[in-house]
Amino acid sequence: MSIPAWPVTVLIIGCGNMGGAMLTGWLRAGVPAERFTVVDPGLPEAPAGVELLRGLPMDGRVFDVMLLGVKPQALDGVAPALTALAGPDTVVLSILAGVELASLSLRFAQARGILRVMPNLSAAVGKSPMGVAAMGLDHAARDSAMAWLAPLGAPEWVAEELFDAVTALAGCGPAFVYRFIDALAAGGVALGLDSDQSLRLAQATVDGAAALAASSPTPPGELARRVASPGGSTQAGLDVLDADAALARLIAATMAAARDRNAEMGAAARGAAA
């Protein structure tokens, strides 16, 4: 993958789990470390070559992109100080769950444009799905933004009214998958396997199944059917998962809870900006 020419300078405000995963993904793809400046008073150290500041840069520098990686509830505490850094040459890139483009534009009215992105931690290995929405960017700038995000995984334009759903699926989804891996491993232990061995087998099982599902034109439901033989052991297990749509209902309820919480945070952000 070629290294995008834009942005040349990136300011990351808050480099926690998600911001750190994105930074790792860009560096892993070969983006020069010198392009990045991180502002985070609590980060022990930054990757080699990345400038780490404990406070906002006050030397008049202009950044092509300012990535907001703080917690959503902390936005109003930092936004006033960031306004001077988000001028007409700067795109504000937000990964803040629930904070909408309109709310961001009120806080950063002078910015070149606003980019809202919902990634997940798989960005660190270039495997993150990403919902993307924008405000104030022309077609060329939108294309440049997608090229910039591509080293992190698979960015897709999404209507902003669907961002709560995207967050529940692509943003929160890895946590739900990790819980499933834990459950598989615990199930193996309950059947007598050593805990370490059971975890290795569970991780390898999910890794292989996900790789096949991603590369196969066959829908996952059909792949499951092909694993199972009528009256066999796999079918016996599927019968438990499928009884009364138990798994489907559990996942639907899980995602609805995540979506609804994201919507609540968005409403709080709108109220604060009003």
Residue with tokens 């495997």: 127
Q: Is 45 helix (H, G, I), strand (E, B) or coil?
A: coil
CA atoms of 205 and 177, how far apart (whole Å): 12
Sign of CA dihedral 158, 160, 164, 165: negative
Would you say residue 274 has pLDDT above 70? no
End-to-end Cα distance, the chain:
42
Cβ-Cβ contacts under 8 Å for 45 (sequence gap 6 or more): 52
pLDDT at 172: 93
pLDDT tens digits along 213-260: 999 999 999 999 999 999 999 999 999 999 999 999 999 999 999 999
SS3 113: strand
The fraction of the chain above a pLDDT of 70, given in percent, is: 99
**Section 162-180 average pLDDT:** 94
Q: What is the pLDDT of residues 21-61, one digit of tens each?
A: 999 999 999 999 999 999 999 999 999 999 999 999 989 99
Confidence grade of residue 265 (pLDDT, cut at 50, 70, 90): confident
pLDDT of 4 over the 80 cut: yes
The share of the chain scoring above pLDDT 90, in percent, equals 89
Identify the pLDDT of residue 73.
Answer: 87
Decide if pLDDT at 203 tops 70: yes
pLDDT at 191: 98
Asked if pLDDT for residue 271 goes beyond 90, the answer is: no
pLDDT of 36 reads 98
Of 258, 267, 257, 255, nearest to 99 by C-alpha is 267
Q: What length is written for the chain?
A: 274
In 3D, which of 69, 73, 78 has the Cα closest to residue 118?
69
Average pLDDT, the chain: 95
User: What's the predicted TM-score (pTM) here?
Assistant: 0.88
* pLDDT over 80 (residue 116): yes
Q: Which of 8-17, 73-82, 118-127 has the lowest mean pLDDT?
A: 73-82
Q: Which residues on adjacent β-strands are paired with residue 130?
A: 155
- Judge whether 152 and 119 are in contact, CB under 8 Å: yes
Q: Please write the tens of the pLDDT for every residue from 185-201.
A: 999 999 999 999 999 99
**Residue 273 banded pLDDT, cuts 50, 70, 90:** low
- Say whether pLDDT at 85 is over 80: yes
Domains and CATH numbers, the chain: 10-160 (3.40.50.720), 173-262 (1.10.3730.10)
